[in-house]
Amino acid sequence: MWSKSAVQNKVVVITDAISGLGKECARVFHTGGARLVLCGKNWERLEILYDALISVADPSKTFTPKLVLLDLSDISCVQDVAKEVLDCYGCVDILINNASMNIRGPAHKISLELDKKIMDANYFGPITLTKALLPDMISRRTGQIVLVNNIQGKLGIPFRTAYAASKHAALGFFDCLRAEVEEYNVVVSTVSPTFIRSYRVDPGQGNWEASIWKFFFRKLTYGVHPVDVAEEVMRTVRRKKQEVFMANPIPKAAVYLRTFFPELFFAVVACGVKEKLSVPEEG
């Protein structure tokens, strides 16, 4: 009941609504009676999501979702799309920045063009959309912006340099924005899980020998299910939380280790990279 009252009749914009987490957020907020604006870069998949939502919801208690085509990595179109989003209902109460792009590989093998693409999708895209919608929230002196980020906004994991850089940048931006807009009664929230895993894939056992770094990284990369993250996003909106960190004890310990004992953290990470590079990879 609390969750429904928090979003009932609210205009909620969800970016990358066609992703696993996006779909679950759409389901949770649609059931709660929100007026959804679902954004994604594939129209066919948006329509599939639309059909799935209206087929199970009670039409007397829910609103028909609006669909908007949006690719946050294409910065040039974000301003126009933001106007289209505002035109749907005339305002935005809650913006959920969910879109993200990931890449893995040694830094020297990732092209600068790809680095820029990651930054556009994970940093410049979300902040451009946020800046376009923020004046409406400020003028009405109400609103909430939720950034779905990642543990790598707090610490860097090897072979994900561009991704970690983009997540650090996004977290820094929204941390600063939180203080700037507080006087306008606009809430900025960040939800940082470890990794969001797929519906059917559980962390594999693999060939993990008894070494500290392998235990450390295996725990660090345990994913959180999209359903759990979506429900946490709803709780964050309802309680107006400023920051949420979704992780088991090992990743949480890694963040504290990075903060208070950085040299030890760097040593563990470096040891892991050396062992990984010394073992030939299959395929």
3-state secondary structure of 38: strand
DSSP string of 72-96? TT-HHHHHHHHHHHHHHHS--SEEE
Is residue 21 packed enough to be buried (19+ CB in 10 Å), middle (13-18) or exposed (0-12)? buried
Task: Kindly name the residue from 50, 89, 123, 163 that is annotated as catalytic.
Answer: 163
- Rounded to whole angstroms, the Cα distance separating 58 from 21 reads 22
H or E stretch at 223: strand 223-224
**Residues in CB range of 59: below 8 A, 6 or more apart:** none
Q: Find, among 129, 116, 272, the residue nearest to 209 by Cα.
A: 272
Other beta carbons less than 10 A from residue 263's beta carbon: 7
Residue 163 appears among annotated catalytic residues: yes
Other beta carbons less than 10 A from residue 123's beta carbon: 20
Is residue 114 packed enough to be buried (19+ CB in 10 Å), middle (13-18) or exposed (0-12)? middle
Q: Find, among 230, 273, 252, the residue nearest to 12 by Cα.
A: 230
- Cα 160 to the center of its chain, rounded Å: 16
Catalytic center residues: 163
